[in-house]
Structure 1
């Protein structure tokens, strides 16, 4: 991770979504992302966070750390947790050609994360899930 300019630590609980949205807005504004790119980042981070809340901590008690930094002309967000290993990037893309009434419920989170960021990677390191999202200042 690049040196973070802003870090948020919070409980892995969907009740924290407002705080996370405010954090992402602050980071995007500080970095100079436009409204469209900021919205995409908001969706990607929310999907990643909800996955952590749903799958990383089946017992319900856990923590998430989001660190934001800049690398050249890119905003980098690193989302980490100590929960159950889960690589959202291994989920298959949904068949978006199907009519919405013929699709299974769920399964779009990983797809949105991949589509709304310029680069995303996952690693498991020292007992942590680490998801890194990269968004260039301009698309």
Structure 2
């Protein structure tokens, strides 16, 4: 497992994506898989950077655990921000037009639909969000 700890700032997104992609490339993840994972990583990291610390500074640890043999990756984000479980939010009604839909929630909906597994826990005053994806 590899990990990186960065300031939770949107400006650090390219570094996060580069870190994740490097590990996926080593494991020979498919291009389709990498693109899906990158969208999900961007959504989760930007949410942490934008909301976890309510305008204050804080960091985010990103762990990438690749099981090359089973072609499966688990990516975990840990922050010490305000408690927030993005999976508790009700999925948006995507049958409604964009004008009729409530603002927010579409990004986490996309993460939930594109990843094979998503999980959240609050432990030791930390938000821990993990997602898994198989490119097999």
TM-score normalised to structure 1 length = 0.89
Corresponding residue for residue 70 of structure 1: 66
Where does structure 2 lack aligned partners over 5 or more consecutive residues? Answer: none
How far apart in 2 are the matches of 1:126 and 1:63? 15
Alignment partner for residue 29 of structure 2, among 25, 29, 33? 33
Give 1:9 shift: 1.0
TM-score normalised to structure 2 length = 0.91
Give 1:104 shift: 2.9
Q: Deviations over 1:72-119 (max 9, x none)?
A: 622111110011111111111111111223323322121011111100
Aligned length: 134
* RMSD between superposed Cα atoms in Å: 1.4
Runs ≥4 residues deviating over 4 A: none
Where does structure 1 lack aligned partners over 5 or more consecutive residues? Answer: none
Give 1:31 shift: 2.0
